[in-house]
Amino acid sequence: MIKIWSMKKNEEAAAKRKPKTSAAQIRVQKDLTELDLPSTMQTNFPDPADLLNFTLTITPDEGMYKGGAFKFSFAINTNYPHDPPKVKCAQTIYHPNVDLEGNVCLNILREDWKPVLNLNSVMVGLQYLFLEPNADDPLNKEAALEMSKNRDQFLQNVKMSMRGGNIKGVQYDSVLVR
């Protein structure tokens, strides 16, 4: 042990105490304070002291989902960024890549997550889903089918669902911006 202890004396440069703040916590602080979001996206912290649980509201200003406000819940665990954030859609919405339970089909939330990605990348990815819904990777198969087979009907369904309409027996949440 003596050898190790003597090493420490010679390593003054590196010998600085680090904070007790966990790596996950610092990383979330860094991610959040460095978010670079357009005006169409807004975060909300139910408890501003809790940086690990919050919501993101996306209000697309173009595309077929324009006029809606879509809310996603973010839950970050203490193993971030090894583990990706858990993101769910908090409303029942009509979207080919979001199912009725709020699961979202976005590659960087699962199979393509890497610790070098950050919250900003996830948020930008989510917004993209509203600008360019993707019928090839469906989670809501009915919606995806409609989108590729009958685009006009699909657009109508989107509008109807956003007003809180009922499509094929499914009641959607009203998401219109008040």
Partner 1 sequence: MASQPNGTSTDWPGRYYHIDQVLNTPGPRTDPAFLAGDGVKTFLRNQAKILVIGAGGLGCEILANLALTGFKDIHVIDMDTIDISNLNRQFLFRQKDVGQPKATVAAEFIMKRVPGVKVTPYFGKIQDKDDDYYLQFNLIICGLDSVEARRWMNATLVNLVDPENPESLKPMIDGGTEGFKGQARVILPTITSCYECSLDMLNKPTAFPICTIANTPRLPEHCIEWASVLEWPRVHGDKKMDTDDPDHIGWLYKIAAARAAEFKIEGVTWSLTQGVVKNIIPAIASTNAIIAAACCNEAFKIATSSAAYLNNYFMLIGTDGIYSYTFEHEKRDDCPVCGGEALEMTISSEMTIEQLIETLVEKQDIQIKKPSLSTPTKQIYLQAPPQLEKATRPNLEKKVSELVPPGGEVTVTATTLPFSLSLRISYST
Partner 2 sequence: MSFTNSIDIEQSTVVIEAAPDNKTRRYDRQLRLWAASGQSALESSRILVISGSATSTSILKNLVLPGIGHFTILDPEKVTPEDAGNNFFLEGPSSIGKSRAEETVRLLVELNDGVEGKAEMRSLEEVLAKDKEWLSDFTIVIAHNLEAVLLDQLASFLWEDTSNPPLVIVRSSGFLAEVYIQYHEHAVIESHPETTQSLQIDKPFPALLEYAMSLDFENMDVTDHGHIPYVIILVRLLEEWKKTHNGSPPTTYAEKQEFKKSVLKMRKKADEENFEEAEAQAYRAWTTTTVPSEIRELFTEPKVLSLTPTSAPFFHLVHALSRFASTGSYIHLQKLYKARAEEEKAIFKSYLQVPVSEDMVDAFVKNSHALKLLKGKKWGALDADPQALANAVETAPKQLATHLALTALSSFATKQQPNAPLTPTMEALTNEALALLPPGTELPEEFEAAVGEVVRAPTADLPNTAALLGGVVAQEVIKMITKQYIPINGSCIIDLIETWTGVL
Query: Would you tell me which residues interact with partner 2 (CB under 8 A)?
Result: 99-100, 134-136, 138-144, 148-149
> Which of 58, 64, 105, 106 is an active site residue?
105
Polymer length in residues for the chain: 178
Among 53, 61, 75, 79, indicate the residue that binds partner 1 (CB under 8 A): 79
Residue 98: CB atoms within 10 Å: 27
Sign of CA dihedral 61, 65, 71, 74: negative
Residue 142's binding partner out of partner 2, partner 1, none, with CB under 5 to 8 Å set by partner kind = partner 2
Query: Taking each helix axis from N to C terminus, what angle separates 23-33 and 119-131, rounded to the nearest 10 degrees?
Result: 50
- Would you count residue 116 as binding partner 1 (CB under 8 A)? yes
Strand extents, DSSP E, 20-165: 41-44, 53-58, 70-75, 86-89
Q: Does the active-site annotation cover 105?
A: yes
Shortest Cβ distance from residue 13 to partner 2 (Å)? 27
Please measure the distance between the N-terminal and C-terminal CA atoms of the chain and give it in whole angstroms.
68
- Would you count residue 44 as binding partner 1 (CB under 8 A)? yes
Question: Residues interacting with partner 1, by CB under 8 A?
Answer: 1-9, 11-12, 14-27, 29-30, 32-35, 37, 42-45, 48-49, 51, 78-79, 82, 97, 99, 101, 103-105, 107, 109-111, 113-116, 137-139, 141
